[in-house]
Amino acid sequence: MINDDIIYKTDIAVVSYSKERKLVTTVWHSKKLKFKEYQEPFLAAIEFQKKTFVTNYISDIREQNIIPPDFRKWFQTEILPKAYAAGVKRSAIIFNGNIFKKYYLNNIMNSVKKF
């Protein structure tokens, strides 16, 4: 990740790209998010993916705060279909295992099965 290109960077999240791995990585930082703050890193990644061959995606949510259901629903209905339609084949999430994040991930995993 040292040689990765930064696509998007704020105090909320850093989105980077590894050409060698055809990988986009988002690392979230602890903070209560507004909806727009949650959307922006994903939208930046999707815009980047339109111009660049990306097959892999990792999201590191260990420092991310709890995500409201309406945010997750937007991610499932808007971002997942666009990411997979544009070429993502594999995705992974790094998390610390708390019950709220497990629930969040289970819901997302059920959506991913469609692709």
Domain spans of the chain, in order of start: 5-109
Give percent above pLDDT 90 in the chain: 70
What's the pLDDT score for residue 95? 85
Q: How far apart are CA 35 and CA 74, in angstroms?
A: 10
Mean pLDDT of 24-44: 94
Q: Which CATH class is domain 5-109?
A: alpha beta
Structure letter (DSSP) for residue 96:
-
What's the pLDDT score for residue 114? 67
pLDDT digits (tens, 9 = 90+) for 38-52: 999 999 999 999 999
What's the pLDDT score for residue 34? 94
